[in-house]
Structure 1
Amino acid sequence: MLSALKRLSLVTRIVIAIILGVLVALLFPNIAPYFSLLGEVFIKALKSVAPILVFALVISSIANFHTSQSAKNFKPIMVMYTVGMLLSAFSAVIADKFFPATLHLQLAPEHAAQAPASIGIILKNLVLSFVSNPVVALGEANFIGVLAWAAVLGVAFRHSSDTTKTFLNDTAAAINRIIQMVIACAPIGIFGLVTVTFAEAGVDTLKSYTHLLGLLLGTMVFVALVVNAVIVGIALKGNPYPLIFKCLKESGITAFFTRSSAANIPVNLELARKCGVDESTTNVVVPLGSTINMCGAAVTITTLTLATVNTLGMHVDLSTMLILCVVASVSACGASGIAGGSLLLVPVACGLFGIPSEVAMQVVAIGMVISVLQDSTETALNSSTDVLFVIAADMGSKR
Structure 2
Amino acid sequence: MQFLENFKEGLTSIKGNLLRSSLTATIIAIGISSLVGIITAIDGMKASIEGNLSSLGANTYTLRSINNNSRGNEGGKARKIFPPIKYAEFQRFQEKFQGEETMSLSAYLSWNAEIKFGSEKTNPNVRIVGIDHNYLTLEDAEFAYGRDLTPNEVSSGAPVVILGDAIASKLFPVGQRINPVGKFITAYGASFRIVGVLKSKGALNNNQGVDRAIMIPIEKARMLSAGSQLNYNLKVGLGAAMEIEPSIGRATPIMRAIRQDRPGEENSFEIKRDQSLAESLNEISGQLKIGAIGIGFITILGAAIGLMNIMMVSVTERTREIGVRKALGATPAKIKQQFLIEAITICLIGGFAGVLLGFIFGNVVARTVDAKGLVFPVEWMFLGFVVSVLVGVISGYMPAAKASKLDPIESLRFE
**TM-score after normalising by structure 1:** 0.28
Bigger Rg, structure 1 or 2: 2
User: 1 or 2, which has the higher helix percentage?
Assistant: 1
TM-score (norm 2): 0.27
